[in-house]
Structure 1
């Protein structure tokens, strides 16, 4: 079931060495297109929810074919078996659904896709491969209750909350495999949850991954438009000995930022670099709050300057989270896991579900 059979003629392979995507058109460069189609790299197939046109990359990638090694890893974690019924969230090109249908049979696989054009192309690609699994155009957040219960649910879009609907549509003992993370950053971790008799689910994080986010759970950056006025204004100023490298920003999907997101609740961060100066911003996502912090790291090695404003001291929370993590022995991402209760609460833990991670908050 080759990935090439599910790709459009115009694709944008991701270059991990430069961090950029470039277009390859099969009609102009068939050999380059084939190399990209079979390479172990993600390939963007849609930009800007379909509003983008032309060969140049768009602003935000919104549909893709995942890199084959990640697809293999996720399907291995799913542990399908003969006769299993599977719901896929996020059809994309249809390749992942094709792999499942080839293994289990058309009638055992249902795949849902929120974008009608993407769903139409995937349905045609599956039929071209001789497969006829049901492709539903709907919001994956809601799953597909008509086909429930499922033995397995697999999501190919990053989530910030595992929806209760997925728990309800998975039989007790069934598995949910999904890229999960927090709004602290873009990083996800592959989580494998086993659904319990009480309607909740729990399981470990398996590896660091990065996925486009479920559309219903994308971060709305407009939330932070009014957090910062005249900079730094009346913000409290201090310095810190914590280095930028300690935040793990230079390691793509290295795990540190993901772990900080587990510990510092309702916080989003971003990084700006200019003229050798790195400014890391933190914003409070709590409703009604305008708390923010910025930390300015300079290349001269001097202590970084910290500005904090609002009721929460977000930088102090990050530092305390780092201290807690180090005191625990700097456990890797794979030492953590997640419990989702039947009412939808998301509770990360370290070691086992009986040891939830603390939520670090510091007030003015």
Structure 2
């Protein structure tokens, strides 16, 4: 991509983006506001893939926007300053010789997270000048550059496994004169050479917290990560706060969305069942519960673990939950007191039972995570007492690591 992107004044676009985030109540931190106004996104995101084909199409048709090309420029500028995720890389490809225009096939292996999620994460970490910052899986480096702008030169380190992306991001950070380094390595190992860190932010979802991350957290530090489950429908966000005495408090809460899981982690999908469900939703029967609302995050997070193997089809017209490996599903509504079920697994009965347990546990929104129970397992609980919801996080060993 052309280096003359640097000479274009995009300050008005950044100002409009910041005003939009502020008006929506998303952006409240004045230091992050200043960083968003300063960091030129067009340098970090010089191109972007746009999906052309509709849902369910395989292989997928894409179009690559080149920000240096006059015909792409306005669409590209609008996109990278929007609230959308920016798709940067297919199948781990090199990033220096991409050609604009149509391309077919492949799967996205790197992207910049949509801006409201980035703002929420960085504000949750409580960044400030002088703090030592570690980002795991920084990708193209948007959140990393913002954090480094706040903490100051020489205090931010990123660990990126993809060699092409690490070199791409570091070069662009240099062009921005951001005094921060991205090293190539396995994010699961953190980066012991410069530990401990006051703030650790993971841009990848993990099934549990890698021990190295906790070990590299300084007293008084904070660690923020997405806990990935097998379903993309109900992610969890984990915040670990280490007291000045070294004691950890880890809180897990459900979120509407989270970071993509580490490579090799296989998500469940309802896509292959969509046509069959539309043709035959199943047998109607009464339901004992009103379908929980989308923002009952504490319930849906528990469902990801305690009714495992389920995934929601958010493209369906009414609440549709699928157990793809059991060829089973449940379709709720439309508001007539019934639910339609299909297959050997009674998906809705499991959700009804879990809903009763969730009610008895006090409808928890957040859960406590014990990272140091002495056995290596990381356990989750909604609180004390026999009616608490509890489960154990799966170990890292269950997630295949990619071949370098």
Give the shorter-chain TM-score range. Answer: 0.7 to 0.9
Q: Does 1:110 align with 2:143?
A: no
Structure 1 residue 211: Cα displacement: 1.9
| Distance (Å, rounded) in 2 between the aligned partners of 1:221 and 1:185 | 8
SS in 2 for 1:323: helix
Structure 1 residue 300: Cα displacement: 11
| Distance (Å, rounded) in 2 between the aligned partners of 1:96 and 1:306 | 43
Please, which of 338, 358, 377 is the counterpart of residue 345 of structure 1?
A: 377
Shift of the 327–210 alpha-carbon distance from structure 1 to 2, 3 Å rule, reads same
Structure 1 residue 175: Cα displacement: 0.8
Please, which of 314, 319, 322 is the counterpart of residue 355 of structure 2?
A: 322
Shift of the 347–208 alpha-carbon distance from structure 1 to 2, 3 Å rule, reads farther
Structure 1 residue 113: Cα displacement: 0.9
* 1:2 alignment partner in structure 2: 40
Q: Retained in 1: the 8 A contact 2:361–2:382?
A: no
* 2:239 alignment partner in structure 1: 192
Q: Does 1:33 align with 2:76?
A: yes
Shift of the 353–141 alpha-carbon distance from structure 1 to 2, 3 Å rule, reads farther
Q: Retained in 2: the 8 A contact 1:12–1:22?
A: yes
Please, which of 198, 220, 226 is the counterpart of residue 151 of structure 1?
A: 198
Deviation per residue, 1:180-229 (Å, 9 max, x gap): 2422444323321113667754125384333211225x12669xxxxxxx
Structure 1 residue 55: Cα displacement: 3.4
| Distance (Å, rounded) in 2 between the aligned partners of 1:347 and 1:315 | 26
Q: Does 1:50 align with 2:93?
A: yes
* 1:176 alignment partner in structure 2: 223
Higher strand proportion: 1
* 1:212 alignment partner in structure 2: 260
SS in 2 for 1:125: helix
Shift of the 353–133 alpha-carbon distance from structure 1 to 2, 3 Å rule, reads farther
* 1:133 alignment partner in structure 2: 180
SS in 2 for 1:175: strand
Q: Does 1:305 align with 2:341?
A: yes
Q: Retained in 2: the 8 A contact 1:308–1:315?
A: no
The alignment's TM-score, normalised by the length of structure 1, stands at: 0.73
* 1:203 alignment partner in structure 2: 251
Q: Retained in 2: the 8 A contact 1:262–1:348?
A: no
Please, which of 145, 159, 166 is the counterpart of residue 119 of structure 1?
A: 166
Q: Does 1:90 align with 2:137?
A: yes
| Distance (Å, rounded) in 1 between the aligned partners of 2:212 and 2:385 | 22
Structure 1 residue 112: Cα displacement: 0.8
Higher relative contact order (CA 8 A, sep 6+): 1
Q: Does 1:12 align with 2:50?
A: yes
The alignment's TM-score, normalised by the length of structure 2, stands at: 0.67
| Distance (Å, rounded) in 2 between the aligned partners of 1:98 and 1:355 | 45
SS in 1 for 2:46: coil
Structure 1 residue 340: Cα displacement: 2.6
Deviation per residue, 1:92-136 (Å, 9 max, x gap): 111222112222223211101111111111011100001242211
User: How is 1:215-226 mapped onto 2 (pairs within 5 angstroms)?
Assistant: 215=263, 218-219=265-266
| Distance (Å, rounded) in 1 between the aligned partners of 2:295 and 2:238 | 18
| Distance (Å, rounded) in 2 between the aligned partners of 1:254 and 1:49 | 33
Q: Does 1:269 align with 2:316?
A: no
Please, which of 255, 258, 271 is the counterpart of residue 301 of structure 2?
A: 258
Structure 1 residue 88: Cα displacement: 0.2
Question: Greater shift after overlay, 104-113 or 45-54?
Answer: 45-54
Shift of the 279–131 alpha-carbon distance from structure 1 to 2, 3 Å rule, reads closer
Q: Retained in 2: the 8 A contact 1:13–1:44?
A: no
Shift of the 98–185 alpha-carbon distance from structure 1 to 2, 3 Å rule, reads closer
Provide the aligned C-alpha RMSD in A.
4.2
* 1:80 alignment partner in structure 2: 127
Shift of the 71–298 alpha-carbon distance from structure 1 to 2, 3 Å rule, reads closer
SS in 2 for 1:177: strand
